[in-house]
Structure 1
Amino acid sequence: MDFKDYYKILGVEPSADDKAIKAAYRKLARKYHPDVSKEPGAEDKFKEANEAYEVLGDAQKRAEFDEIRKYGGQHGRPFQAPPGWENRGGGGGGFDNGDFSDFFSSMFGARGGSPFGRGQQQQRSAGRRGQDVELELAIFLEETLSKDSKQISFQVPQTNAMGQRTGFTTKTLNVKIPAGVTDGERIRLKGQGAPGLGGGANGDLFLTLRLAPHPQFDVEGHDLIITVPLAPWEAALGAKVAVPTLTGRINLTIRPDSQSGQRLRVKGMGLTNKQGERGDLYAQLKVVMPSQSDAKARELWSKLSEQAAFDPRANWSK
């Protein structure tokens, strides 16, 4: 029987913590998932990663495996069974291993008991936890302010009693978007993934939230930026401009002699943070020239230039 070094399979050191082990497993699972990977042998590597995480992701199984590593095999030497191994009954008394290897079955047997026995076998549930489901969910900026739930539909893998993939089913949920979400934030919905096997717990649904681009607003943290186009005379003389927000329009006062690129702050009209407080809206002014002008308009511009005697590049000579 070949020794399997689960640390090498996941590509982590034996001293790795639970977070590093989980991250390594997720990386391999995404890379070799049979539904998406085109690499040769992807399915076998996917099964190996699952088996490695089944052991290293469980504190008790990991402790037992660490003890077994002391008996050789991890450095290429023939594997030597530890004392009490012969009491395990090989493959576990008819236990259906699903996608697990003979090495795993010999370690944990029909009920996953310790291979060291010490005169008794620990009883552990033979149930397997269901697969987690990863999903990216696009969120409109307006939805981050809404108290209504968002309906989502996604594919959940289905397996038979042996743990073999049999297809997918569509699941629909109403999800409440948490206050203060940011782009790329990941939330967990416990038990909403694939069903477990043999009484095992359901997997979880992990949603990675993506803020959908808005045609009018840019996002900076929990603040919003909107560009407000102004005619030259509006910037020069001042004006009242109706400016859109996520919840309606407001009248913004433009003071005389305003500058292009200037930002005006509208307090409390941005996105909501984790504390339920809203950020600000910044109206960035942009002076826009008419695309066309007739002879009369050009005459007026000429008179204005003479009257104003203004050189916008005067600082270049300094």
Structure 2
Amino acid sequence: MARDYYDVLGVQRNASSDDIQQAFRKLARKHHPDINKDPEAEERFKELNEAYSVLSDPKTRKRYDRFGEDFRQIPEDWEERVGAGVGAGAGARGRGRSTGGGRVRFTDYGEGFDGSGISFEDLFGGMYGRGGGGGRWGPVPGADQEAEIQLGVEDAYHGGRRSITLAGPGGQRTYDVNIPRGVVDGQRIRLAGEGGRGSDDGPPGDLYLRVRIKPDTRFRLEGRDIHVALPVTPWEAALGATVPVPTPGGTAKVAVPRGSSSGRRLRLRGEGMPNPRGANGDLYAEVRIMVPPELGDRERELFEELAAVSTFDPRKPG
């Protein structure tokens, strides 16, 4: 289901036209892709434009308030038809209808719109090819649909073609999807023409796949930045060393500065998630000092010798 346009703009449903305009201007400046370099800014900006185009037009807003996400499938003169008393007294209850497989869900309006006793069947019966010769309102486009898909970090990093099976009302269906390289959590992938079917030769809607990145035991994502633990020995941390670090793209090398303690973060610029439209994310390796679970005789002697000569006290303030 598409996001509520009022939620997109962050306004109440009873917001005035000025409130809607002010909210749009504020958010548009914040998320304009020429200003905001976040990879999701462009998608957010498009969402804001769509919400504003609907809510800034009083007539379109009224249809949206009444019919929700299916308002585009309702003729603009629906109020005139209600006022003309089409089918008055029918007494049938408004209910959900299907436009040739597209999603059309209408709220139950009791005995009719505004208590007039005019039913959805009587008011729009011919719109969907039933009664009155059918199709007299012209082609009706299919509804856009959305589904979630889960990807592992490495799959999202590399991208490529994937066969994805989704369960729907008509059963399971498999799609051949091109996953963009470096796709991030929340990003949408558009499959043109794979949404709800239109009626009266109307074009089908689109299917949007919203990506969810599955938790990974090795990699933690923050936007396009990747965080990974970097185990090192006490002597590597104390003396400095170059050690291997795992990344979704393979093993890289990182220099551990001498005197590093656990928790120190080492940045590998550009080794995070790829970004086809800008700079790649970074990879942050967090130092974790590990000690041998069992010590050999010589190892024990050396550690005891170190303990005897060292004046370092990690618990001493300052």
TM-score class, shorter-chain normalisation, is 0.5 to 0.7
CA contact (8 A) 2:159 2:181 kept: no
Instruction: Give the Cα–Cα distance (whole angstroms) in 2 for the partners of residues 209 and 285 of structure 1.
Output: 30
Instruction: Give the Cα–Cα distance (whole angstroms) in 2 for the partners of residues 130 and 103 of structure 1.
Output: 23
Matches within 5 A, 1:116-131: 123-125=136-138, 129-130=141-142
CA contact (8 A) 1:180 1:276 kept: no
Match of residue 121 from structure 2 = 105
Which digits, 9 at most, give the CA deviation of each residue in 1:2-50, with x for residues without a partner? xxxxxxxxx9659899849x9xxxxxxxxxxxxxxxxxxxxxxxxxx9x
Q: Tell me the SS of whatever aligns to 1:150.
A: strand
Match of residue 56 from structure 1 = 71
Matches within 5 A, 1:276-291: 276-291=278-293
The RMSD of aligned alpha carbons is: 3.9
Quick one: structure 1 residues 54 and 135, their matched pair in 2 at CA, closer, same or farther if it must change by over 3 Å?
A: closer
Instruction: Give the Cα–Cα distance (whole angstroms) in 2 for the partners of residues 285 and 54 of structure 1.
Output: 49
Instruction: Give the Cα–Cα distance (whole angstroms) in 2 for the partners of residues 13 and 218 of structure 1.
Output: 41
Compute the TM-score of the two structures, normalised by the length of structure 2: 0.61
Q: Tell me the SS of whatever aligns to 1:314.
A: coil
Q: Tell me the SS of whatever aligns to 2:158.
A: coil
Match of residue 136 from structure 1 = 148
Instruction: Give the Cα–Cα distance (whole angstroms) in 1 for the partners of residues 245 and 290 of structure 2.
Output: 16
Instruction: Give the Cα–Cα distance (whole angstroms) in 1 for the partners of residues 67 and 185 of structure 2.
Output: 32
Match of residue 234 from structure 1 = 236
CA contact (8 A) 1:130 1:193 kept: yes
Query: Does 2:188 align with 1:176?
Result: no
Q: Tell me the SS of whatever aligns to 2:266.
A: strand
Which digits, 9 at most, give the CA deviation of each residue in 1:104-161, with x for residues without a partner? 233235248xxxxxxxxx9412x6554554321112222334352122122343xxxx
Quick one: structure 1 residues 156 and 131, their matched pair in 2 at CA, closer, same or farther if it must change by over 3 Å?
A: farther
Compute the TM-score of the two structures, normalised by the length of structure 1: 0.61
Q: Tell me the SS of whatever aligns to 1:110.
A: helix
Tell me by how many angstroms 1:59 deviates. 6.7
Tell me by how many angstroms 1:296 deviates. 4.8
CA contact (8 A) 1:128 1:198 kept: yes
Number of corresponding residues: 239
1:184 maps to amino acid: G
Which digits, 9 at most, give the CA deviation of each residue in 1:72-122, with x for residues without a partner? xxxxxxxxx73x546x7998xxxxx9678861233235248xxxxxxxxx9
Match of residue 309 from structure 2 = 307
Matches within 5 A, 1:35-46: none
Quick one: structure 1 residues 238 and 258, their matched pair in 2 at CA, closer, same or farther if it must change by over 3 Å?
A: same
Percent identity for Structure 1 against Structure 2: 33
Quick one: structure 1 residues 273 and 255, their matched pair in 2 at CA, closer, same or farther if it must change by over 3 Å?
A: same
Q: Tell me the SS of whatever aligns to 2:175.
A: strand
- Contiguous gaps of at least 5 residues in structure 1: 1-10, 23-48, 69-80, 92-96, 113-121, 158-167
Instruction: Give the Cα–Cα distance (whole angstroms) in 2 for the partners of residues 226 and 299 of structure 1.
Output: 33
1:224 maps to amino acid: I
2:78 maps to amino acid: E
Instruction: Tell which structure's C-alpha radius of gyration is larger.
Output: 1
CA contact (8 A) 2:232 2:287 kept: yes
2:137 maps to amino acid: R
Instruction: Give the Cα–Cα distance (whole angstroms) in 2 for the partners of residues 54 and 132 of structure 1.
Output: 9
Deviates more, 1:224-233 or 1:273-282: 273-282
Tell me by how many angstroms 1:306 deviates. 1.9
1:56 maps to amino acid: F
Match of residue 224 from structure 1 = 226
- Contiguous gaps of at least 5 residues in structure 2: 1-11, 21-49, 55-63, 91-95, 99-105, 107-111, 113-117, 129-134
